[in-house]
Amino acid sequence: MKRKKEILVAVTGGISAYKACELIRLLRKKGYGVTAALTRNAAKFVTPLTFRTITSRKVAMEMFDEDMPWEPEHIALADSVDLVAVVPATANFIAKLANGYCDEIISCVITATKAKVVIAPAMNDNMYNHPTVKENLKKLKSFGYMMIKPVKGALACGRVGVGHLAEVAAIAGEIEKLLK
């Protein structure tokens, strides 16, 4: 019997964090095992309980969880997944990851994993087009991370521009291609 592929959906603190719930639903429907990890800011948009309910798994949020097994959680997660998908990826998280900051569970998992990494940015259009963000994305691509570019759409600030999270079905399709 073929082993079920495991995916970590890493959710950062942007308004499109709620779309990670739909992504998880689609990935589970396709037969993937899915675990969610959230930054503290992501949990302000969608609760850990929501992710625990849709994954039927513990949600990774803290580096030093009281219920932590004998091995460090970020290493256990890094070793157990076939792919990490950061959906949405904020400008702040992209900067941390591009520059080696490991101050929360998601960046630590990504730094420790040999799994494929997919980054789906979502932010204000001015932020997305800022030279620093572009440079950080370029750096992440040089690490071998796959980018799913944002699309033109309605932004939280009320404008329409490129920075809107790519469609969830398109993200799921790209993940599926990578795991074949």
Catalytic residues: 157
Q: Which residues pair with 37 in a beta bridge?
A: 10, 60
CB 134: neighbour CB atoms within 10 A? Answer: 11
- Whole-angstrom Cα distance, residue 91 to residue 83? 21
CB 155: neighbour CB atoms within 10 A? Answer: 22
- Whole-angstrom Cα distance, residue 163 to residue 123? 5
